Each structure stands twice: as structure tokens, then as C-alpha cells.
Amino acid sequence: MSEVLDLLNEESRQRYLDRACKDGYAVLPDLEALKNRVREKERKAIMDGQREEVSAADAEPNHSAANGAISTSVGTGIERNTSDKTRLLADEDSEDSGRTSGSDTDDDNLAVDDDDDYRSTHSKAVVSMRSKRSMAAESQQMSRQMRFAYWFCFAVVFGAGVSCIVLLILASPTCNTNNSDNGEQLAWWQRNIIYQVYPRSLQDSNNDGIGDLRGISSRVDYLRDLGIRTVWLSPMFESPMVDFGYDISNYTNVDPIFGNLTDFDELIRALHDRGMQLLLDFVPNHTSDKHAWFTESSSSGSNPKRDWYIWQDAASDGGPPNNWQSLFGGSAWQYDNRTQQYYFHQFTKEQPDLNYRNPHVRAAMEDVLRFWLRRGVDGFRVDAIAFLLEDAEFRNETCTLNGSVSVACHEWNTMNHSYTFAQPGFHAIVRSFREVLDSSEFFNATHPKFMVGEMYAPELEDVLELYGNASSPECHFPFNFLLIGLQASDWTGRKIGNVVGQWLNATSKDQWPNWVLGNHDNKRVASRLSASLARTANFLLLTLPGTPTTYYGEEIGMIDGNVTWNETVDPSALNTGDISLSRDPERTPMQWDNSSNSGFTSAGVDTWLPVASTYTEVNVAAQLAQPRSMLQLYKRLAQIRSSEPALQHSSYRLIHATDALLAYAREYTSTTDGSGSTNNQYLVVLNFASTASKAVSLTGSGLAGYQSTGHVQLSASLSTNVSLALNLSAFDMPAGEAYLVKLTPS
Ligand code: GLC
């Protein structure tokens, strides 16, 4: 009994659920077996208890022996009920026994009146004095009681088992194996837009020209009003800032440039108070060379932490151990004079790679996750996830030019990364990170912790493997970089339609989609495309199925700043000498208003990167005042997205794709009212061309079940009245325009 009831105990329920999450619901039949085992035990216990009850009742009419037979330790309602009922039963037994005794002989009465004495000296004699009739009656009585007790307990056990199954099923959508569009219920990470904050660049609160945590806290209301509910912070941990925070020297503290842990706690409180979530950037592949682990590791060849990083002897010519290249230019091997070996670094030489073949490394990084989860973070973006392992044999990579290793490959981009990228075994590491998030310490059925991975790979299927599967989940989703990777010329209706279909067709219903338009490593969308097409692109982003990610400033259409070579600080440009590789332009300060330094910091302060010259016009204050600004459009899109089930859920149907136009339907049928008649169906039409499309007709293309007149709820230009009737068999689409049209079933 207690085993089944234990399932209702939080810890056991969690354990069971964890197992269900891990091993899949195939474990559910175990519950049936458990129930049977318990039923058997219960039956035995009842029999024993009944025997005790009978003898005790004979002797002690008002004392319940059943309490001892069915032990209770967990205070659940069911248990309390069972216990009370059993006690009742025992009381009935006692009364029955008493009645039987009372209606029988004087000796029986004597036995009741003088019961201590009776118990101690005469029990056998009294039993032998009972008449055959009363013995038979008693035994009949007993078996009736036993049958009743048996069925009663069976019902309770069965009820408890069913409740457990129901509980497990109810909990299963939040069991993190489930990434699907689960009918009515979507998780927070499915519903919300992710807004990426580059902490150096959002808001400076102390006039040092660098953004900080207090600055971010002061802009939380802005983000909430924008319609943002999930904020992802690029790294704000202690760092020498060679790669601006992606080189971490202490994973469990805030860099003084950004503030301190108290500022962090205030930021997370400010977000949570407003119903918002915080994601941190988890950088597991490499540390800073100033991290204490590396200091130890590089102190001698025999240091216990030596193996925490990847050390190799020089090649026979004294050069690097093999031809592996760094993403940021040059060999991926750095010679260490003191210990006379090379260490490996995928990125800058100040970012030595950790050795995940050493289990202590993984354990230490899992502790990093726990540290921040205990501080209340809601999830992580996992940096450079596919770089975690390298070939154990350190084999040379081949050149993409002719597949040979004899041709010198001097650039990361011209090599096949067969031995340094997505190596066998890396998914197991990702899974172990996920297990920390799903572990009982952090499990919360209504608010699961979330994980998204960063992986740019030539093959989409390699990226999609990061979803894991139901029994071994990895990321809730890997970032979808298909849109961010497109050239301006690719932004045609047809191509975008293909790209959208590429992700959606390659994923199953359980693999929640997502879309990324910008980030700190890529040119801003308004620079990649154009200011006007950036509006159309954001319209697309916020009306596609799945979680959208917006990079700070893109809601106002910020373009890349002009950063001269002298002002350039990005190591990927400095190390290669190639300014075109610089990521500084997309990291310039947020443009809040038209005051000097754009409201990012006080006038006269030297900002870490120059404020883009466009700030006088492209800024938040100006756009709040303009009814048709990009910012107003973004807010409207975010607001309508959050309130319309059709835009929240994942259905998508391609209606029309030409060079200029893309049209798709977003349809949602309520699964709760069962009627299937919920009028929550939209059509999105986007014109990516710089010319208008005249007399567009969509009625012949998949809109058969709808009336030929739709109602425009929102247009990219914000020039169209809400609810403007649109004749779907002949309408004009101005250049760059986009419509969100409400459809009415015919
Ligand atoms: C990721 C980050 C990038 C960083 C690199 C090394 O790709 O997005 O900014 O430089 O990892 O950590």
C-alpha cells in the first residue's frame, strides 16, 4: 500500500516521472506490476490484520488492532481515508464481537466485564465454552468482514493506482521530453519571444561607456511593453573580455564591469515580478586562459588539472600537433613554453578548450548550471555546442578544395571539420546538461527549465539531432539559423517559402520550431536586407510557427554601426586582419533617443563601441512617437501573436509562393470545445519585392474553405485600417508590404 501511496509523495512521484521522462512511457506498465504486488501484500496485510482484529476484538472491543496492520506514514488524503475506514472496520468488528458476545452466554458477558483477567488467564477456556452456533456465526461474520475489507482495500488501491496514472499523464506535457504543440497548452518557452540582450550594449548605468546589469534592469519595463517575456543575456560572467565575455574566468560570478551578484538577483527579480523569464549564456566548450582551472592545468605536466584541457606534444618538426585551425584565425594549437606542450583552442588562444573526455570537467560544468538554476534562472542558451569534443586520435582534417591534407589549409572555412566538430559522443554531453535542468531539484511541472543550443552546421539534419528524442531529450530546440544565413538576394517569396518548409518538413510534431533573424555574430537584418525589408522580415518572424528570437535593437530596425579599423575590438577581425569578419558593427550601443550617446550612457562618455550615426532618427523615443514606426509594428505583432491561438500554435500551411510573394495560413482549431468551429484562422501575405504586385488572387490556392473576403488585422506599413475588407481573389500588395488577414470559414 505504502509503495503505491508513495507515488503521491512528491519525491517518489518525481522519481517515477523522471524515469518516465528518461525511459519513455514504456515504463508505465511497471505501475501495473507494482499495483499487483501491492495488492498482494495488502491482501496479506488485511488477513493478518483481520486475524489480529478478531483476537483483539474478542478481548478488547474498543481497541483497533487494524492501525497496526495497515501502517501509515505519508499524510495523503487517500491514506488518511484508508486508515480511518480501516479503523471504522475494526470498530465494527469490535462491536460485532461485542454484540455476538453479548447475545451469547453469561460466560461471554463475564469475558466482556472482566476482560483483563479473561485475556490473561481464560482465553482458551472461553473459546472452548462458545456454542457451536456462535462459532459458526462468528466465522460467517468474519469472512463477510474479510471479504468487505478485501474489496474495500482493493478499491482503494485501484483508485490510488488510477490516480497515479492520471497524475503522470497530467504531468507529462511538462515532462521535458515533450516539445510538441500539445493542444491547448503551450509551455512558456513556446509562447514567448526570446529577446537577446548583449549586456555591454543595452544600457550603461554608471557612465563607464559599457552596458551593465543595472542598466538592463532599468529597461525591463520597456521590454515588457514591447511584448517580450523571455530575455537571453549574452555572458556577463567574470572575464578578461578578450572575446567580450565568451572567455570566462569565473563561471559563478558577475564581472565587475557588469555589476555583482546582487545586481543579478535584482534583475532576475525585476523580470520574474513581471512574469518574464531569464536565460543565461552557458559557455561549456572553453574557459578563459585566466580561469583558475587553466592556471593550474598549465602550471605543470603533472598537475591534477592538466587533463582538464587538451594538451599534446609538438609534431616531429616542432610545430603544432596537427593541422587543426582556429575559427578566429591561425592554428588551433598554442605552444606553452613552461610545460613544452601545445594546448588546443577552437576560438582565440585565450580561450583554451576544455577536455570533455575527462568526467570531472563535465561534472564541474554541470555544477555551473546548478549554481545559476539555484539563483532562479529559467534556462540557458548553450554556446558553441557542437565543439565540445575532438577526435581522440587527433587526425588531420582535409581541405574542402581537393579533400587532401597535403594542400595547406590555412583557414577554418576551407577545411572539412570531420575531427573537430559534432564528434561522436557530444550528444551525450548535451543530454547530461539537459538532465541537470530536468532533475528533481529543478523540475517544475508548470515551469520547466529550458535549453537552446547554438550550432551552425552545413547539414540541417545534424542540427536537428540536437532535439534529441523522447527518451533522451537534448535541447528544447537548436537555434534555427536558416533565415540568418540567407543573402539579400535570397529574400524572395519562393526561397523563404522553401526555407520555412525545409525546417518544418524536416521536424516532427514533437520538435518545436523556432526562427532567428539576428544575433551578436551576424550582420543586422536591416543591414543584410534594407530598412523597409527589415519590417517585412520581422512580420515574417513574428507570424511563423514557433519561438522567434529578436536581437536587441532590431525592433527599431537598427542597422550595423560604422566601426573603423582603429575602433575595432572584435578578436575575429583583429586576429585575421580582416575587418569584414568584425562583429563589432552589430554590437553598437542601443539607440534609445537622439541625445548624444543615444541615451545609452551620458553625453561625453566614451562608449566601448561608437554609437551608430543613424541614432538621431532610428531610436526608441522617436519611434514611440511615430504611429507607423517599426517599433509600433513590432509591438502590434508581439501583442497579436500573444493573444491569437492561431499564431501561437504551430500549424502552418503554404498557400502561395512566387518571387515576390509568400502567403501562408495559420489555423487553429480548439481542441477543448470539440466543435472545431473556432474562428481562429489567419492568412499571412508578404511582398518581398521592391515593386507592387497587382490583382493578386489567392482564392484558388488552398483557401477553398474560406470566404473570399478576409479582414486585414495588421499591415507592415501600419497604413491599413484594422478590419479592412480584402478581396482575396483580387488585391494589391504594395512593395515590402505584409498583411495579417483574418479568415472566415465559408
Ligand atoms: C559563440 C558565440 C560567439 C563567440 C564564440 C566563442 O559562437 O556566439 O560570439 O565568439 O561562441 O565563445
The pLDDT of residue 408: 59
Phi, psi of 213 (to 5 degrees): -65, -40
**What pTM did the predictor assign?**
0.78
How many Cβ atoms are within 10 Å of 30's Cβ, its own excluded? 13
Residue 420 predicted with pLDDT over 70:
yes
Mean pLDDT of 296-316: 98
The pLDDT of residue 243: 98
Question: Which residue type sits at 595?
Answer: S
Mean pLDDT of 430-459: 97
* Look-up of cell digits 507592387: 692
The pLDDT of residue 722: 74
Secondary structure class of 264 (helix, strand, coil): helix
Measured from the CA of 346, which atom of ligand 1 is nearest?
6
Distance of CA 173 to the CA centre of its chain: 13
The pLDDT of residue 410: 73
Residue 260 predicted with pLDDT over 50:
yes
Mean pLDDT of 457-465: 97
Q: How far does residue 105's CA lie from ligand 1's centre (Å)? A: 93
Mean pLDDT of 544-562: 98
Mean pLDDT of 636-650: 96
Per-residue pLDDT band at 679 (split at 50, 70, 90): low
3-state secondary structure 136-200: HHHHHHHHHHHHHHHHHHHHHHHHHHHHHHHHHHHHHHHCCCCCCCECCECCHHHHCCEEEECCC
Per-residue CA distances from 518 to 158, 418, 541, 550, 656 (Å): 54, 28, 11, 6, 26
Q: Which of 236, 243, 382, 574 to mutate to test the pocket of ligand 1 (most atoms within 8 A of CB)?
A: 243
Residue 23 predicted with pLDDT over 70:
no
Contact 300, 312 (CB under 8 A): no
The pLDDT of residue 156: 55
Q: How far does residue 354's CA lie from ligand 1's centre (Å)? A: 15
Residue 520 a catalytic site member: yes
**Comparing 29-33, 200-204, 417-421, which segment has the lowest mean pLDDT?**
29-33
How far apart CA 273 and CA 36 sit, in angstroms, is 47
The total number of residues shown for the chain amounts to 746
32-52 tens-digit pLDDT: 333 344 344 444 443 444 433
Per-residue pLDDT band at 115 (split at 50, 70, 90): very low
In short, whether 350's Cβ falls inside 6 Å of ligand 1 is no
In sequence order, the 6+-apart residues with CB closer than 8 A to the CB of 170 are none
Among the listed residues 48, 52, 521, 593, the single catalytic one is: 521
603-619 tens-digit pLDDT: 999 999 999 999 999 99
Per-residue pLDDT band at 116 (split at 50, 70, 90): very low
Which string of DSSP letters, residue by residue, matches 561-587?
----TTT---HHHHTTT-GGG--GGGG
Contact 177, 21 (CB under 8 A): yes
Mean pLDDT of 74-96: 29
Q: How far does residue 450's CA lie from ligand 1's centre (Å)? A: 20
Residue 391 a catalytic site member: no
Question: Which residue type sits at 172?
Answer: S
Which string of DSSP letters, residue by residue, matches 342-357?
EEE-SS-TTSPBB-TT
Secondary structure class of 391 (helix, strand, coil): coil
Q: What is the CA radius of gyration of the chain?
A: 34
225-246 tens-digit pLDDT: 999 999 999 999 999 999 999 9
Residue 111 predicted with pLDDT over 60:
no
How far apart CA 128 and CA 140 sit, in angstroms, is 18
The pLDDT of residue 307: 98
In short, whether 242's Cβ falls inside 6 Å of ligand 1 is no
In short, whether 682's Cβ falls inside 6 Å of ligand 1 is no
Mean pLDDT of 202-223: 99
The pLDDT of residue 645: 94
Averaged confidence pLDDT in the chain: 81
Mean pLDDT of 572-600: 97
Q: How far does residue 575's CA lie from ligand 1's centre (Å)? A: 15
323-341 tens-digit pLDDT: 999 999 999 999 999 999 9
Edge-first strand order for the sheet with 379-382 is 477-478, 450-453, 379-382, 277-282, 230-233, 194-197, 547-551, 514-516
Strand partners, 683: 665, 741
Question: Which residue type sits at 510?
Answer: D
CA torsion 312→316→321→322, rounded to 10°?
A: -160
Per-residue CA distances from 428 to 27, 357, 386, 422, 434 (Å): 22, 11, 11, 11, 10
Measured from the CA of 583, which atom of ligand 1 is nearest?
9
Residue 138 predicted with pLDDT over 70:
no
Residue 715 predicted with pLDDT over 50:
yes
Residue 281 a catalytic site member: yes
How far apart CA 330 and CA 535 sit, in angstroms, is 39
The pLDDT of residue 602: 98
In short, whether 283's Cβ falls inside 6 Å of ligand 1 is yes
The pLDDT of residue 90: 31
In short, whether 247's Cβ falls inside 6 Å of ligand 1 is no
Mean pLDDT of 395-403: 84
Mean pLDDT of 443-461: 96
The pLDDT of residue 155: 58
Residue 471 predicted with pLDDT over 50:
yes
Q: Which three cell numbers stand for residue 528?
A: 543584410
Q: Is the model more confident about 40 or about 251?
A: 251
Question: What's the CA angle centered on 559, arms 556 and 560, to 5 degrees?
Answer: 140
Contact 700, 663 (CB under 8 A): no
Per-residue CA distances from 181 to 196, 377, 546, 646, 649 (Å): 24, 24, 9, 12, 6
Residue nearest to atom 9 of ligand 1 (CA): 521
Residue 255 a catalytic site member: no
181-204 tens-digit pLDDT: 655 689 999 999 999 999 999 999
69-98: burial string, b at 16+ Cβ within 10 Å, e else = bbeeeeebebbeebbebbeebbbebbebbb
The pLDDT of residue 670: 72
Q: Is 377 exposed, middle or buried (0-12, 13-18, 19+ CB in 10 A)?
A: buried
Residue 383 a catalytic site member: yes
3-state secondary structure 31-45: HHHHHHHHHHHHHHH
Q: Which of 198, 246, 345 to mutate to test the pocket of ligand 1 (most atoms within 8 A of CB)?
A: 246
Secondary structure class of 324 (helix, strand, coil): coil
Q: Domains plus CATH for the chain?
A: 2-170 (no CATH), 286-353+393-420 (3.90.400.10), 568-617 (no CATH), 644-742 (2.60.40.1180)
Mean pLDDT of 359-381: 98
Phi, psi of 16 (to 5 degrees): -65, -40
Q: How far does residue 423's CA lie from ligand 1's centre (Å)? A: 19
Per-residue pLDDT band at 700 (split at 50, 70, 90): confident
Per-residue pLDDT band at 79 (split at 50, 70, 90): very low
433-444: burial string, b at 16+ Cβ within 10 Å, e else = bbbbbbbeebbe
The pLDDT of residue 57: 32
Q: How far does residue 384's CA lie from ligand 1's centre (Å)? A: 6
Among the listed residues 281, 353, 438, 474, the single catalytic one is: 281
Residue 118 predicted with pLDDT over 90:
no
In sequence order, the 6+-apart residues with CB closer than 8 A to the CB of 551 are 196, 198, 517, 518, 519, 520, 524, 586
